[in-house]
Amino acid sequence: MKKLYIVKKYQDFDRIIKTGKRKTNKSFIIYSIENNLPYDRYGVSVGKKLGNAVYRNKYKRKIRAIIDNYKKLYINNRDYIIILKGSTNEKTYQELNRDFLSLMNHIGKD
């Protein structure tokens, strides 16, 4: 994922979480809000309660790979914050992929 498409600033994370629409399922919480850019931006967060840095970075890489595979399906000029829930300890890549797609399809219908 190019750095252009990443939400990194704390102020952006905070604004999106406070004012954006929220959708959840068993694996993810996704906040989304309109932006004034010609592309989507994504921010990924995995909390410290879920594990050590190795675990958190591993799951962030998995989530970013899933986003890269499907981001062309969701070009709608929005910012997304994707937060991994604690129930994903035993989930495989395929299960995370399925949960992400179902949630993004649900967001796209709103």
Structural domain including 97 reads 3-108
With a cut of 80, say whether residue 100 has pLDDT above it. yes
The alpha carbon of residue 16 and the mean position of all alpha carbons in its chain are separated, in whole angstroms, by 12
User: How high is the pLDDT of residue 2?
Assistant: 65
In the chain, how many domains are there? 1
User: How high is the pLDDT of residue 23?
Assistant: 93
Q: 77: alpha, beta or left, given left = phi > 0 and alpha = psi -120 to 50?
A: left
Q: Which CATH number do you get for residue 91? A: 3.30.230.10
User: How high is the pLDDT of residue 83?
Assistant: 93
What is this structure's pTM?
0.87
At residue 51 the predicted structure's pLDDT band, cuts being 50, 70 and 90, is confident
